[in-house]
Chains A and B, each alone.
Chain A
Amino acid sequence: EAGVAQSPRYKIIEKRQSVAFWCNPISGHATLYWYQQILGQGPKLLIQFQNNGVVDDSQLPKDRFSAERLKGVDSTLKIQPAKLEDSAVYLCASSLGSGIRQETQYFGPGTRLLVL
């Protein structure tokens, strides 16, 4: 079974530039999550999708971050414009569903973003 795929693996940009990350979840997984993991901290949920609808985006900085999952499969997370404090690893995860017994999350390898 293929795991969660993410690209790119690494990205270096200058502040005020834009960047986009892509995630392809495990086939058949209805729920998709984007996390931000700042160095020395645990992952923080940015946004959760159930199919192509948003379940939770309470911690997404909506003035600069956006995410979409148009066909309920793969997803894109965008930052525009980037700030220095956005330097982090962006993790994508997926699960079969959102009920606790379906909620084992499978994580991709992450995209490491450095903003200069």
Chain B
Amino acid sequence: AQSVTQLDSQVPVFEEAPVELRCNYSSSVSVYLFWYVQYPNQGLQLLLKYLSGSTLVKGINGFEAEFNKSQTSFHLRKPSVHISDTAEYFCAVRAYSSASKIIFGSGTRLSIRP
């Protein structure tokens, strides 16, 4: 079975500052990794995903994440945040098996201060 741990439930940062949202996963098999964003009163939207290849994945809105297999991590980063990035961010994992489902972490609420 797979699991996802998002170590920070809330991350406050100032506008234009860099941010890193941490995600660690546990799995006995190879996995795909995802980051989703949920803006207030909206559904989830895919930010980026790692399927294979380069471990540095670039997504929408200037976000990127790096897959680190040895540390079983998939941290999300942005060099300079904007007020519009205020949202909840979910890390998710899915095993390679075609029968597996996506498992979501508990989320990190990013709040941007002007």
Could you tell me which B residues sit within 8 Å of A by CB distance?
4, 9, 32, 41-46, 49, 51, 90, 92, 94, 96, 98-99, 101-102, 104-107
Q: Are B51 and A40 in contact (CB under 8 A)?
A: no
* A14 proximal to B (CB < 8 A): no
The interface residues of chain A lying within 8 Å CB-to-CB of B46 are 104-105
Contact of B94 (CB < 8 Å), options: A93, A100, A108, A109: A100
Question: Interface 1/0s, chain A 45-56, versus B by CB < 8 A?
Answer: 100100000001
Given A109-B41, A109-B43, A42 and B101 contact (CB-CB distance below 8 Å): no
A60 to B92, CA, bound (A): 20
Contacts of B96 in A (CB 8 A): 100
- Give the number of residue pairs across the A-B interface with Cβ within 8 Å: 49
Interface string of A24-42 (1 = CB under 8 A from B): 0000000000000000111
Number of residues of chain A lying within 8 A (CB) of chain B: 23
Task: For the complex, give the distance between the alpha carbons of A4 and B49 in Å.
Answer: 21
Question: Known contacts being A56-B101, A100-B94, is A41 close to B44, with CB within 8 Å?
Answer: no
